[in-house]
Every structure is written in C-alpha cells, then in structure tokens.
Amino acid sequence: MSNCNSNLNSDNEFNAGQINRFKNFIEYFKKAKIKEQYTYNIFDTCSISCQEILVCRFLGSLLDPKGEHGMGDIFLKSFLNLIFNGLPENPLNKLKETFLSKFNVYLEYTHQKLNKRRIDILLDLDGFYIPIEVKIYARDGDNQCCDYFKFCASHNVNNSSVIVYLTLNGTKPDEKSIGNVDGDQLICLSFKNDIYNWLDSTVCSLKSDVQNTNNKNDVNLIKINRVCSVVEQFLDAIKNITGRLEMEEIEQYVELNKNEEIVKSSDDFIAAKRFAENFYTAVKIRKLQDFFASLNASLHKKLDAVGADIVYDRNVILAEAEKMYLEDKSGYPSIVIKLPSDDFTGCRKAENYSLELAVEASDVITIGYSMDHQGNGIPGGKALMEYVNNHICDSYKNELASFQKGDYWFADRNYMIGKASPDFINCNSSYSKLYDHDVFKNTVDNISDELFHMYMHWINPKEH
C-alpha cells in the first residue's frame, strides 16, 4: 500500500493531536455499539438477514400486490421503477396497462429447462418473466445468471428480458455466471443502497398517509403501522450487514462535534484520509494473514505426525487478500489438506483427480471437501458431486450427509460465530469478534479440530 503524500511532520506518523482525535472517535464508536445491543430486531435475533431463502420470502411477500401485507401494489410499483429507471428501453412499455392485475411472484421457481436449479424470485408480469438472483453469502454457479436470463427471455415476447442481480453491495456476477448476457440486460442492485432506499421511501410514503388521516383508530392505519414497523426492522438489519450503520454513526459523530473542528487543517484532512483509506484496510489484511498463519500452525501440530500434506503459502494469502481489499475483486484465500486416495479400505482409485480438505475465508468461512480437477477433464458442478460419490467408500457417505452440497465444493459447511459466519469482505458482527483474542483462538482451535477429525476419518473411517 502506498502512503499519501502530505505536509505532515512525517510521512509515516500522525501528530499527537490527530492521534488523540482518532482515539476519541474510536471511543465514541464503542459507546455507540453498546447502545445497539439494546435494540431488539427480529431479523437479527433469528439470523434471518443472513439467510437468502428467508430474505427472498420476505422480499417476495412485499412485491406481491395480493400479499398478506395488505398494501396492494405500492411496493411492486416502486420496485419496478427502481429496476427499470435509466434503461434505454423500458420493458414495461411493451406490456398491457392491466399487467399488474395479472401479476404473480414465485419463490424458488424451478422448471425442467433449468436443470434442477431454482430462481430465487421470479416476477411474472402478465407473462413477462423477470428473474431476481439474490446473493448474500453464496457464490455464483457456472452459467447461473445466463441460464436464468435465457430461460425467461425465451418465454417472453420478442425474446427480451432483464435479470436482476441483488447483492449486499451491488457487485457484478462472476463472468462464469453471466456468460454472454449484455450489460443493458443485467441490473445489479445492492441491499446497502438500492433496497434500503426503495423500502425507506415506500415506508415514508405509507407513513404520510397515516399522518394525513384524522381517525388514528382506522383498521387500515393500524395495518400500515404494523407493516412499516416490520419493514423498518428489516432496514435496520440491512444497516447491520452492509456497514451502512457505521456510516450513519460517522455522520452523527461529525455533526455532534462540528464545533470542535475535528479537521483543523489541510494536514488533518490528509491524515484523516490516510487513516480511513489505509489503516482499516491494513488491519483487515493483517487479520486475514494472522488467521491462516495461526490455522496453519495449529494444523501442523495435529497432523504432522500422520504425514498430512498441508498446502499453505503466505504470499498467496496476501495476494488473495489484496484482491479482496485493494482491487475489489473476488479473492479466495485458503488452506488445503491433500487427501490420500488409494490407501484406505473400500474406496475405488480414480485417475487424474485429487481430493482435498479446504478452509476458505471470503464472505464466509467455508470448511469442506473439494476436488482439484483443473486440467484433468473432470466435470464441475453437480456432475462433479456424482463423480466424487462414485469414488468414495460407502461408510464415508454418512459423514458427508451432514454437509451441504454446492457447485464447487461437493460437501461443505459454514463455520459460525454466534448466528452468522464471519464475513471477511463486508465485516459483519461475527467477523468483528475475531478481534477478541479468546474468540480468535477458539475459532482457530475449533476449525483445526474439525479438520483433524475429518482427515483422520478419511484415512480410517472405521475408527473415527
């Protein structure tokens, strides 16, 4: 990382006054976090905000004009304006004016042409299909967005459609997922800004109806207040998982201390800029490196005696971290333990493949079984899972049954701290806990213990 050029006394140091103001700023945040602990939120309490299926159900219910919220099409109309605003050609112009009366919303929509895949949310505007793919912590599958778009386009008039790709921060899908879908046909939305502003403005509109009515006991007004209360809890949950809450706290801090002149000179401004841009990023990179270095050391203590082949490269971890934090690209830092494929009872030996245990840290900490199959002509996705299942012993399949199945890991699970897995990209509350010494140590110990069990069970499944 490069240092900002400035007229400070040293290019590498902050002066005493600046350091003191930074300390005051950190103390203010600590107190703000303590206050947040007393805020009851059903989405956070039940970990709903981290689960894509449940979030999709909530969004789908709001988008349904016939939904239980009882607010009609106010959420749907404002959402359609959001996704089609700025497009060179608005698909709504091709629809009949009565399309809202024939609107349907489908959750986890499946069709034989989708090869057992499920579209998270499918909007059916009188026969005009719009797929919405929601990614909170999951990864893209091969041709996933492309397949969803082509399926909907083939169903629509003139083979036209768009695909909405919704993530925490509005990132684009991987190239392997989007394929040859044109930029104008891809609408990337973020929970942090787009969904938050959409719901916030809709709630404000509903509340204005309440304020303009004299009869506060009206049944419809009571219903509106309840709906607004639930949506506002979801808005608070969005703040928590996207970092929007921290930005609002910064703005509040600056406003409360405006008379103290937090930034008193050009040097102060440059120092604040350098602190914001470099310090936070440097801390995150160091934490990621420390996590894998500590995990590597713990694994060697447990597995060296049995001759396990542990693959760890500090320079690779750093390169992946810089992708994540400096280049805003997908990075997948990991540790891999190669699994012997021909020295345990009951397994068939297959050529040109390498089974491995892996731990990966990006938007979640993933632990599981994967396959090094690049260049070996072995298929990916669900075909990979079938391939692996044909080459492992039956006694081990019971162990794999407790894991989820994915496109790239044939069996994996997310490591949880509290109610969520640490998100090294968006830095959720579970990630923040890794800065507590005891939590960090327990996390490393627990993961290494689990990997030790998995490895020993693999080489001798009858004894473990």
Digit-coded pLDDT (tens) for 398-452? 555 555 555 456 667 889 988 788 989 878 878 989 999 999 999 999 999 999 9
Terminal-to-terminal C-alpha distance of the chain: 46
377: left (phi over 0), alpha (psi -120 to 50) or beta: left
- The answer on pLDDT for 72 being more than 80 is yes
Looking up tokens 């998982």 gives 241
Q: What percent of the chain clears pLDDT 70, i.e. is strictly above it?
A: 68
- The answer on pLDDT for 264 being more than 50 is yes
CB-based contacts of 149, cutoff 8 Å, min separation 6: 131, 161, 162, 163, 181, 185
Instruction: State pTM to two decimals.
Output: 0.62
Q: What is the DSSP letter of 341?
A: S
The pLDDT tens digits for 341-389 are: 653 333 334 444 567 889 999 888 999 887 664 434 444 445 555 655 5
Taking CA 330 as the corner, what is the angle to CA 325 and CA 336, rounded to the nearest 5 degrees?
100
Q: Tell me how far apart the alpha carbons of residues 43 and 231 are, in angstroms, rounded to a whole number.
A: 10
Average pLDDT, the chain: 78
Bridge partners (DSSP) listed for residue 132: 121, 164
Taking CA 190 as the corner, what is the angle to CA 255 and CA 327, rounded to the nearest 5 degrees?
85
Q: Is 270 exposed, middle or buried (0-12, 13-18, 19+ CB in 10 A)?
A: middle
Domain ranges of the chain: 44-244, 284-459
Q: Tell me how far apart the alpha carbons of residues 406 and 414 are, in angstroms, rounded to a whole number.
A: 12
- The answer on pLDDT for 287 being more than 90 is yes
pLDDT of residue 94: 56
The pLDDT tens digits for 109-143 are: 988 888 778 999 999 988 889 999 999 877 788 88
pLDDT of residue 112: 84
The pLDDT tens digits for 325-338 are: 888 777 889 999 98
User: DSSP secondary structure string, 323-339?
Assistant: HHHTS------EEEEEP
Strand ordering across the sheet containing 409-414 = 309-311, 334-338, 354-361, 365-372, 409-414
Higher-confidence position of 259 and 10: 259
Helix segments in 94-218, DSSP class H: 144-155, 175-178, 196-211
